[in-house]
Amino acid sequence: MADPTRGKLGIVVGGGPAPGINGVISSVTIEAINRGLEVVGVRDGFKYLAAGDVSQVRPLTIPDVAPYYQRGGALLGTSRTNPAKNPDHLNAVLKGLEQLGIKYLVTIGGDDTAYSGSQVYAHAKGAIKVAHVPKTIDNDLPLPPGIPTFGFETARHYGVQVARNLHEDAKTTTRWYILVSMGRAAGHLALGIGKASAATVTLIAEELKGKDVSIELICDIVIGAMIKRKAQGKGYGVAVLAEGLLEEIGETKLREMMEKNPGKFGSIELDAFGHLRLGEIEFGRLIRTTIASRLKDLGVKLDMVDKDLGYELRCADPIPFDAEYTRNLGYGAVKFLLSPEAEKNGVVVTFVGGNMVPRPFPEMIDPATKKMRTRLVDIGGENYEVARRYMIRLEQSDFDDATRLERLAAVVKMTPEQFRERFGYIVR
């Protein structure tokens, strides 16, 4: 039974959906009520609170949340409203939480929501204790090594199923699929899907860091894989590309491309956090169209289909890993908030080796960027090395071996020297 004297706990969900959000909401609610707290869910993130509207909340009971434990989506909704960007909005959030009598706050989201939660904690000056539960299917938050963000494993699981189905279709119909995977800042999801599905080639932004990245470079890497496959007698395959490659190309080059092809590949838009809205850019179509044009110049024709993959994964029912994981995280958030440590810091809740390790906001959030440090794919590690070893891609060894080089050049009716001149740059 809730004891009004114990206080009230609020739950806010921010950012994009991820499998397991309802698992966190459910476990937080059940544990908090079992410890004597009242629980309320704030609808649609900070959207209404930032506007001074405190009516968009709902009390949560155990019967309300228990059926949702293993369901996808977010029963409270979500939004990308960032109150930390505007002092008036942040003040409205603080005032609203005070009006609602909320003493404990659990925020669920990525790095932007974590920063918003940290600012609520800092400006409430101890009146509101805050625990943030990190979620993103991108797996790009700086959790301890080997610890995923919740939602990632489920997204990868269903993404692999799609990629395997597409591979069988590609083989059956002799075509290529260009599969674009979500993953703005890091390529974990694309690499995880590509590696586990045995995709022909996977390309992530991390391996292009420090290079002059262009649409042409990305397309030539895929074309190189296509040529190598044809040299092996196979005219089909699946290429998995991380959408974060768009960030590497950059807004300037993308705008130039869009201006040359108005309306053909979507539009350039920014979200509330100043990020490119990658979903508004038809990256797959852009890549497919450019590849087709460059293949035509080479005298090669291949049937291709582009497919964006991401929105289909975000509200999937969590697999057992994430169902269990989110129960741990929700329980851990409440346990922390009711501990003496909550008087000292607001935290990001993490688990290491089965034990909760709360990380204070100052350790996790860079004060300059106001974001958590991005966890990138380690392209120097064996995990990535294994992925590369099982891809079909042009490698330096293809150019060093005269027989291989001649076979590759023959596919596009070039001399070995011409092929080296045309494609050698992508392996340097």
Known binding-site residue numbers for substrate: 136-138, 182-184, 243, 311-314
Which residue ranges make up the annotated binding site? 16, 111, 136-138, 182-184, 243, 311-314
Which residue ranges make up the annotated binding site for Mg(2+)? 111
Tell me the C-alpha distance between 22 and 13, whole Å.
10
Cite the active site residues. 138
Contact 141, 134 (CB under 8 A): yes
Contact 26, 76 (CB under 8 A): no
Tell me the C-alpha distance between 415 and 280, whole Å.
41
**Locus of tokens 């505007």:** 86
Tell me the C-alpha distance between 209 and 203, whole Å.
12
Q: Which residues contact 296 (CB under 8 A, 6 or more apart)?
A: none
Phi, psi of 311 (to 5 degrees): -60, -30
Which residue ranges make up the annotated binding site for diphosphate? 16
